[in-house]
Structure 1
Amino acid sequence: MQIEIVKDYEALSKKAANIIASQIVLKPQGVIGLATGSTPVGTYKELIRMNKEGLISFSNITSFNLDEYYGLGADDDQSYHYFMNENLFNAIDIKKENIHIPNGKASDVGAECTRYENRIKEAGGIDLQLLGIGQNGHIGFNEPNENFEPLTHLVNLDSDTIKANARFFDSIEEVPTQAISMGVKTILSSRKILLLASGENKAEAMYKMIKGKVTPKLPASALQLHHDVVVIMDEAAASLL
């Protein structure tokens, strides 16, 4: 695990964008795994700038998102489909048919999870997976549990996650209680993983992820088992290390 501590969120965003851009330059027809939440927004802004300036192209890139709220359609302004369109896809030259996000309105959620896994395999697997981390140590929507869920699955969201995400909704009652998420095995099958953490509220999770034992009670700890993980955090997120 390669750990890089930078001064602040701006530095984190630029360094992360440079790593993703390098991956795109090295493999223009590659597969990139993407994340939502507030942490990657700055990274996406940098990637948009690079794309506009002609430094990188997404025209042959395939993307897979980690997760989607279950019960929200792609046109819902709180869905991760909508988030990705607003924060990245609408501003770059990626082909719409190459964008993959779980269907939060799937009538057969089990079939949707299987379909999503199959699409990843058909694409040749994920070359680089971008991750954030929850205050409770979740990656994707893999919540603290008694075991690691290996593949894409339906998750009952932890109360801490619901509270943390309530800031994006008018009220906590509107926050979905379930999500479709890549599993831990799916994430670890990525050839390279890039995890970002910003802010003092992530410091405890980062300490446990790096210094603690591997346990499904802190899903991010599973990254200790991967051969190529880059962790970028600002000084606030690294304050307990």
Structure 2
Amino acid sequence: MKINIARNYEDMSRMAAEHIINTVNRKPNALISLPGGSTPLGTFRYLIEASKQNRVSFAQCRFISLDEWVGLGGEDEGSCRMTLDLHFFEPLNISENQIHFYDGLSQDLMGECDKMDFFIKEHGPIDLIALGVGLNGHLGFNEPGSRMDAYSHVVELDEVTRAVSVKYFSEQKNLNHGITLGMKHIMETIDVLLLADGDKKAEIVKATVLGESNDQVPSSLLQRHGQVELFLDERAASLLGNQIT
């Protein structure tokens, strides 16, 4: 793991964006997976600004879901698709034919998994995946105990994930399942970025970097990947001490 520590969230976001810019400039037709949630929003802002400055073009890229809440569609507040539409796809005029996303409202969720896996097989491997990390170490919706050999799958959400989910919605939602790229997708991705900021992420960052690599802390499994970069602010990195290089 390569660990990049920034002074604050804005600097962390800029550093992560520069990494993505360099990747896309090297491979303009890259296959990319980006997360929803609040952590990457600063990175998205920098990417949009870089595009306006003609420093990068996403016109040839393809984008795939990382995950989605089962029971939410792309028009629903708090859905991963809506977050990316509002903060990335629409500002950059990304066309629909560049996007392949899970449909959380589908009556055939296994079919959604199969379609995603086929799309990645056809257009992959995934060149770059950016990830946030949950307080329980989840990556996407790969919750504690997730199988290392799984591709796209439907998962019952961990209690911690369900508790944290309330911040994404203005009214209470009864969301118990998610659909997600699997750990095998993540481990087969060429370039993996993990973003974390704030004091609340310090414990899980420590477990990710310095803890035992096991499926009870899915983010710790990234220790086994050959090309992972962490982008942290000083608060998220505060428990790493001098034990990193």
Alignment TM class, shorter chain as reference: over 0.9
Is the contact between residue 130 and residue 194 of structure 2 (CA under 8 Å) also seen in structure 1?
A: yes
Is the contact between residue 68 and residue 81 of structure 1 (CA under 8 Å) also seen in structure 2?
A: yes
Q: Residues 127-160 of structure 1: CA distance to partner in whole angstroms, max 9, x if unpaired?
A: 0110110011000111111644611110111111
Is the contact between residue 77 and residue 169 of structure 2 (CA under 8 Å) also seen in structure 1?
A: no
CA RMSD of aligned residues (A): 1.2
The equivalences for 1:74-223 within 5 A come to: 74-145=74-145, 147-148=147-148, 150-171=150-171, 173-223=172-222
Q: Residues 89-147 of structure 1: CA distance to partner in whole angstroms, max 9, x if unpaired?
A: 00114222111211111111111111111111111211011011001100011111164
Larger deviation: 116-125 or 10-19?
Answer: 116-125
Question: d(CA) in 1 for partners of 2:164 and 2:149?
Answer: 22
Is the contact between residue 149 and residue 183 of structure 2 (CA under 8 Å) also seen in structure 1?
A: yes
CA 51–175 in structure 1, closer or farther in 2 if over 3 Å, else same: farther
2:28 is aligned to: 28
Give unpaired runs (5+ residues) of structure 2: 241-245
Larger deviation: 106-115 or 8-17?
Answer: 106-115
Question: Amino acid of the residue matched to residue 51 of structure 2?
Answer: N
Question: Amino acid of the residue matched to residue 228 of structure 2?
Answer: V
Question: d(CA) in 1 for partners of 2:31 and 2:191?
Answer: 11
Name the SS for the 2:90 alignment partner: helix
Is the contact between residue 166 and residue 175 of structure 1 (CA under 8 Å) also seen in structure 2?
A: no
Give unpaired runs (5+ residues) of structure 1: none
In percent, how many aligned pairs have the same letter? 38
The TM-score normalised by the length of structure 1 is 0.96
Question: d(CA) in 1 for partners of 2:20 and 2:222?
Answer: 19
Name the SS for the 1:205 alignment partner: helix
Is the contact between residue 3 and residue 230 of structure 1 (CA under 8 Å) also seen in structure 2?
A: yes
The TM-score normalised by the length of structure 2 is 0.95
Is the contact between residue 34 and residue 64 of structure 1 (CA under 8 Å) also seen in structure 2?
A: yes
Q: Which segments of structure 1 move beyond 6 Å, counting only runs of 4 or more? A: none
Is the contact between residue 36 and residue 81 of structure 2 (CA under 8 Å) also seen in structure 1?
A: no
Question: Amino acid of the residue matched to residue 204 of structure 1?
Answer: E
Aligned length: 240
1:236 is aligned to: 235
Shift of 1:175: 4.5
